[in-house]
Amino acid sequence: MAPSRNWPRSFEAAAGHQRFIGAADDLDVSQAAVSRQGRPPEGHAGKKLSNRLPGQASLTEAGRRLNVNFAGRLAPLERKFANDLNSSASLVGGRCNTGIP
């Protein structure tokens, strides 16, 4: 199974909270969804990224290394994407106008 495109957000949120429930609250999804989204990347990496314990999730060494390289990179990418989208399209009369005839 290929990783969900949502797994980076789930991983970052769970790593920040050290709890799936805190990540789930941030992402407005279930705790089980956050946990499930982390499993495919572990399978692809061939390494366990977190220790799942009742009420908490702690990062393994591999998860900590990934988190150091990964932390804080999503927000700037999302802002850039939103800025690019806003600069290339404007809302006119409820429609998206890209300026392409």
Between the CA of residue 20 and those of 60, 87, 97, what are the distances in Å?
15, 36, 40
Q: What is the pLDDT of residue 52?
A: 80
Determine the CATH number of domain 7-89: 1.10.10.10
State if pTM tops 0.75: no
Q: What is the pLDDT of residue 63?
A: 86
- The domain segmentation of the chain, as residue ranges, is 7-89
Q: What is the pLDDT of residue 89?
A: 56
pLDDT tens sequence for the chain (101 residues)? 566 677 788 888 888 888 888 888 988 999 888 878 767 677 777 888 888 877 777 888 988 888 887 767 777 777 777 777 666 655 555 555 555 55
C-alpha span between 57 and 17 (Å, rounded):
8
Q: What is the pLDDT of residue 11?
A: 83
